[in-house]
């Protein structure tokens, strides 16, 4: 006859067998097909280099800097004399009476022009170099924004890179926790069979095992998600066939605050952009003032304008003069003096001054924000370094506590609840230590963004 205790024990054995099988076959996850072969080993610097080749905001800033370079070249060429040539044939219908034909603007029914033209614009923007200076400042702003985009991309890559490193560490800790829970469950079952512990200890150990198994599957999912997030940044086609270097244990130095503050004042890209924007707006004001000044343009022409396409020919209006030379030059000088424009120039000058005042206010705001962010980021880095030291010691203590508590349980000197608490404390503290290391790395990355690198 099958007794009720036997049924309960059999059910428990079936349940534990199912749980053990689940532990040996992790949760299957959908993954993109990667390239065949060994995984690519990627360091943090490799990740930076790969991301710079693919990140669209960064590439857009690089393209803007290249466009600004061409704008500066165009502004420089506009200051220099422009050389061109023109060849024309003007054929006029004759009237049978006058040599010039039906149109009095020509001196014959056939007129040929072949000119080489040199034009020099001497507007205020040209001889004061205002336009070229503004193009130089605009190029400097575009190049500085490349630094802003690069440092922002570094922060993004750091965050995703170390998110994967931390996820891998937590996954490894979860594996270790599952193994510890498995051993503790086996120990309680063995001692229950010997009559040394109560059934409640087996239930508690089994529950702990299942919780650690669920945590293991969740962290497996988190690790795969972190890998996908990083793969999107690093590969043109989604590929998970790579591994990252865990360098969080390597030492890094935090410069003294006065040095960091000096670097921020000299190299902060946002501050440089704000300063250059003030300079650019000041040049716009100067350009608006230049519009009130006279402008001069000179056209020097050399070539021929005759009734025949030749070096010497007769003039249709005076053939009796015989052959005359056709080559020659003429110079045209034009002075434009603004007198009245219904207030348009004054309005443009007022607009430029308003924009200049606005950029000065933005510069002041940027300076104050930089100082505040610098203190916040530096204090965060100090706190993160302290947290690394504290949690490292706590992780060592948690490991030793788990070992000693397990030994005491085997000797009958502690309870199952104490072992479970020690196991949970081990996982929590180890994860906190990993998070603290990643936090310290990100704090340094944020400081680099504010200081332009160190």
pLDDT digits over 379-393, tens only? 999 999 999 999 999
Return the C-alpha torsion angle 418, 419, 425, 431, nearest 10. -170
Lowest mean pLDDT among 152-156, 158-162, 320-324, 368-372: 320-324
Short-list 435, 447, 370, CA closest to 167: 435
Q: How far apart are the C-alpha atoms of 176 and 393, rounded to whole Å? A: 19
3-state class (DSSP) for residue 344: helix
In the predicted structure, residue 8 carries a pLDDT above the cut 50: no
Q: Above 70 in pLDDT, residue 160?
A: yes
Q: What is the mean pLDDT of the chain?
A: 87
The three-point CA angle 364-367-373 to 5° equals 140
Q: HSE (CB half, 13 Å, CA atoms) of 259?
A: 7
Give the span between the Cα atoms of 283 and 264, in whole angstroms: 26
pLDDT in tens, 413-438: 888 899 999 999 999 999 999 999 99
Task: Answer for the pair 259, 446: CB distance below 8 angstroms, yes or no.
Answer: no
d(CA 354, CA 390): 54
- What is the rounded CA–CA span in Å between residue 298 and residue 296? 7
Tell which phi-psi region holds residue 6, choosing left (phi > 0), alpha (psi between -120 and 50) or beta.
Answer: alpha
Average pLDDT estimate for 219-224:
93
pLDDT (0 to 100) of residue 324: 86
CB 114 within 8 A of CB 329: no
Instruction: Tell me the pLDDT band of 25, cut-offs 50, 70 and 90.
Output: low
Which of 68, 70, 72, 105 is closest to 90 using CA atoms?
A: 105
Rounded to 5 degrees, φ, ψ at 238 are -60, 120
Over residues 86-93, the mean pLDDT reads 86
Q: How many residues does the structure list for the chain? A: 454
pLDDT at 14 over 90: no
Give the mean model confidence (pLDDT) for residues 99-113: 78
Reported confidence tier of residue 30, pLDDT bands at 50, 70, 90: low
| pLDDT tier, 26 (very low <50, low <70, confident <90, very high otherwise) | low
Cα 51 from chain centre: 9
What percent of the residues of the chain are helix, what percent strand, and what percent coil, each to the nearest 5?
Answer: 65, 10, 20
Look up tokens 């004061």; give the residue.
Answer: 128
**Segment 232-257 mean pLDDT:** 88
3-state secondary structure of 171: helix
Summarize the confidence of residues 136-148 as an average pLDDT.
95
Question: Domain boundaries in the chain?
Answer: 48-80+144-293+343-451, 83-122+294-337
Q: Which CATH number fits domain 48-80+144-293+343-451: 1.10.420.10, 1.20.1600.10, 2.40.10.10, 1.10.3470.10?
A: 1.20.1600.10
How far is the C-alpha of 64 from the C-alpha of 57, rounded, in Å?
A: 11
Q: Decide if pLDDT at 194 tops 90.
A: no
| DSSP, res 26 | P
* Distance separating alpha carbons of residues 50 and 56, to the nearest angstrom: 12
Give the pLDDT score at 333: 92
Q: Which of 65-74, 80-89, 309-318 has the highest mean pLDDT?
A: 65-74
């Amino acid at each position: 006859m099958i007794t009720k205790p036997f049924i309960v024990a059999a059910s428990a054995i079936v349940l534990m067998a199912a749980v053990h099988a689940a532990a040996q076959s992790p949760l299957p996850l959908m993954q993109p097909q990667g390239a065949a072969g060994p995984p690519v080993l990627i360091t943090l610097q490799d990740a930076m280099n790969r991301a710079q080749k693919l990140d669209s905001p960064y590439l857009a800033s690089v393209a803007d800097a290249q466009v600004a370079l061409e704008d500066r070249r165009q502004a420089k060429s506009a200051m220099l004399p422009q050389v061109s040539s023109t060849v024309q044939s003007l054929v006029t219908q004759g009237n049978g009476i006058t040599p010039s034909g039906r149109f009095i603007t020509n001196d014959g029914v056939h007129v040929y022009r072949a000119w080489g033209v040199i034009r020099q614009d001497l507007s205020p923007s040209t001889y004061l170099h205002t336009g070229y200076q503004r193009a130089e400042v605009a190029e400097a702003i575009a190049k500085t924004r490349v630094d802003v985009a690069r440092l922002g991309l570094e922060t993004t890559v750091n965050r995703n890179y170390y998110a994967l490193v931390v996820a891998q560490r937590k996954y490894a800790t979860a594996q270790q926790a599952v193994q510890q829970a498995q051993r503790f469950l086996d120990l309680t079952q063995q001692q229950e069979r010997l009559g040394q512990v109560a059934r409640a200890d087996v239930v508690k150990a089994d529950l702990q095992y299942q919780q650690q198994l669920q945590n293991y599957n969740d962290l497996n999912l988190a690790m795969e998600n972190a890998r996908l997030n990083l793969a999107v940044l690093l590969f043109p086609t989604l590929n998970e066939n790579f591994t990252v270097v865990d360098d969080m244990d390597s030492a890094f130095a935090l410069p003294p605050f006065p040095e960091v503050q000096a670097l921020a004042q000299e190299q902060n890209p946002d501050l440089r952009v704000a300063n250059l924007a003030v300079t650019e707006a000041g040049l716009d004001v100067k350009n608006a003032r230049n519009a009130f000044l006279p402008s001069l343009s000179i056209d020097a022409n050399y070539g021929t304008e005759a009734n025949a396409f030749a070096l010497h020919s007769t003039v249709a209006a005076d053939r009796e003069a015989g052959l005359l030379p056709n080559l020659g030059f003429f110079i045209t000088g034009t002075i434009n003096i603004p007198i009245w424009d219904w207030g348009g120039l004054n309005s443009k000058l007022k607009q430029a001054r308003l924009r200049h005042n606005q950029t000065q206010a933005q510069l002041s705001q940027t300076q104050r924000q930089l100082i505040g962010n610098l203190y916040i980021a530096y204090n965060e880095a100090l706190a993160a370094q302290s947290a690394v030291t504290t949690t490292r010691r706590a992780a060592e203590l948690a490991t030793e506590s788990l070992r000693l508590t397990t030994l005491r349980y085997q000797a009958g000197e502690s309870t199952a609840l104490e072992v479970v608490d020690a196991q949970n404390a081990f996982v929590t503290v180890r994860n906190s230590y990993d998070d603290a290391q990643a936090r310290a790395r990100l704090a340094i990355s944020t400081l680099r963004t504010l200081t332009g690198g160190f």
